[in-house]
Amino acid sequence: MIVNREAVIARATAERRKHLRLEVDLPGKFFVPAEQREEPCRIVDLSPTGARVAAESVPANDVQLVLYIDEFGRFEGDVVRTEWGHFGVVFRCSALKQARLAEQLEIIAKQGGTQPAPLRRHSRREGGELSQFTRSSGQTVRCEVLDLSLSGLSLRTTVKPPLGEVITIGQVSGRVVRHHETGIAVEFCGPRKGERPYLRSLG
């Protein structure tokens, strides 16, 4: 039997990446949609398939949540284990998203560090610009752009459309992915008009 050496190496590398787990110390937040509550947390270890999270408020087993990890982005997941001050999350994401996270973790591991700042997919800039967005119902809402990047933006607004609603601001559409204290966070559905399509490294 002829063995394709390159294919064997590629499979072994993919398997190793799948189980790579890195100790980190990253700020984050988790949002429990069923309870409409958001809590601060810290991520203490991270892998392509899940994370261990430290928090004062620990959700129950089997709770579905959205985990926001500083510099890595947004992950939907399920709580699979809990203990005093910590809980484990298994991510519900595509194989492509897992592979991209694995690549990022592998680079950090090779660098011997735990800070992913050089890997940030899109730099953000401060906003402070007055604007408006249009809801799916056609309602126009005044807002202020707090910060933005190629992948999304944060808006100050007193009107908070439900999570998942698609809004339009300027020439681009985006999906509401989070409510915060002063407004909403929006993830773009596609590139801005006149820009090249971009690869979403974590989505």
- Sequential DSSP letters for the chain: ----HHHHHHHHHHHHHHT--EEEEEEEEEEETTTTEEEEEEEEEEETTEEEEE-SSPPPTT-EEEEEETTTEEEEEEEEEEETTEEEEEE---HHHHHHHHHHHHHHHHHT----GGG-SS--EEEEEEEEEE-TTS-EEEEEEEEE-SSEEEEE-S--PPTT-EEEETTEEEEEEEEETTEEEEEESSPPTTSPP---TT-
Range of weakest confidence among 1-15, 76-90, 130-144, 173-187: 1-15
- CATH fold of 5-119 reads Thrombin, subunit H (2.40.10)
Q: What is the mean pLDDT of residues 72-76?
A: 86
- pLDDT classification of 116: cutoffs 50, 70, 90: very low
Range of weakest confidence among 1-15, 57-71, 120-134, 189-203: 189-203
pLDDT digits (tens, 9 = 90+) for 131-158: 899 999 999 999 988 877 666 788 999 9
pLDDT digits (tens, 9 = 90+) for 119-128: 444 444 445 5
Q: 131: number of CA atoms within 13 Å, CB side?
A: 19
For residue 128, the model assigns a pLDDT of 57
For residue 6, the model assigns a pLDDT of 52
For residue 15, the model assigns a pLDDT of 47
Cross-strand pairs, 173: 168
CB 41 within 8 A of CB 52: no
Q: Where do the domains of the chain lie?
A: 5-119, 125-188
Its pTM stands at 0.52
Average pLDDT, the chain: 77
Comparison of pLDDT for 17 and 130, the residue scoring more: 130
Judge whether residue 167 has pLDDT over 50.
Answer: yes
Judge whether residue 32 has pLDDT over 70.
Answer: yes
